Amino acid sequence: MKYLPLLSLFVVSMLFSPLLQAAPEKVLIIGDSMMMVTSHATQLELRKKGNVEVLAEPSIGSGLARLDALDWMEKAKQLASTFKPDVTMVWFGTNDYQPMQSDQGILRPDDPKWFEEYARRIRQMMDILTQEGSEVYWLELPIMRDAEQNAYVQDVNALAKAEAGKRDNVTFFETNKLLTRKPDTFTVYLISRMGKPIKVREPDGIHLARPGADIVAEAFVKELF
């Protein structure tokens, strides 16, 4: 009988242990051009975990600013309701530094109302994806080489992080710490443990090179499992 309290504590700790959270069976991957290479790298990484069904639907040149070109809200509703993912990996914002049509008229990125509207769209996207029970991982946009674009990216990251912080089922997944040698600094090459350079960014100063996408994919899948 003297072992019963210890056994009870063990059972309780195991019940509430994050290690016992069910591994995802369905993973949805959506986003803009930043997600193209990363989605493929993530699919390959998830294959190592066994029976995980993956649906990848990234789209070049799309985003949350130009819903007239591709209505991501409607597409997200359709994907969430039909595929019913356990986890959704999201990456938006790369192509959104542009005027945005809204109920208030055309908003430009230098207008504070642009960021108010963009935050509303982030909220809407998060709500759509979580309504069907999916956990959402909203990826941080990496540091950009161009200073003006990078300032915009940091503002968008702040909006996404703030909205994620209001929801238990949304995680703001940090990528910058994975893709730079020095905090807040654009990095083209990382150095491997063997001392060899690893190219993580493309020459455009925006997108990830394949090794960079592999690094993000590996860290993301590790987070899930």
Strand-pair category, 100-102 with 105-107: antiparallel
Q: How many C-beta atoms lie closer than 10 Å to residue 200's C-beta?
A: 23
**pLDDT tens readout for residues 103-155:** 999 999 999 999 999 999 999 999 999 998 999 999 999 999 999 999 999 99
Give this prediction's pTM.
0.89
**pLDDT tens readout for residues 36-77:** 999 999 999 999 998 899 999 999 999 999 999 999 999 999
CATH code given to domain 24-178+210-224: 3.40.50.1110
Helix (H) or strand (E) holding 206: none
pLDDT band at 22 (very low <50, low <70, confident <90, very high): confident
**CA atoms of 184 and 92, how far apart (whole Å):** 20
CB-side neighbour CA atoms (13 Å) of 65: 20
DSSP state of 102: E
What average pLDDT does range 157-172 have in this prediction?
A: 98
| Residue 215 scores a pLDDT above 70 | yes
**pLDDT tens readout for residues 23-34:** 899 999 999 999
C-beta separation of 200 from 41 below 8 A = no
Instruction: Tell me what pLDDT residue 86 has.
Output: 97
**CA atoms of 148 and 143, how far apart (whole Å):** 11
**CA atoms of 26 and 23, how far apart (whole Å):** 9
Instruction: Tell me what pLDDT residue 42 has.
Output: 98
Instruction: Tell me what pLDDT residue 193 has.
Output: 87
Instruction: Tell me what pLDDT residue 5 has.
Output: 52
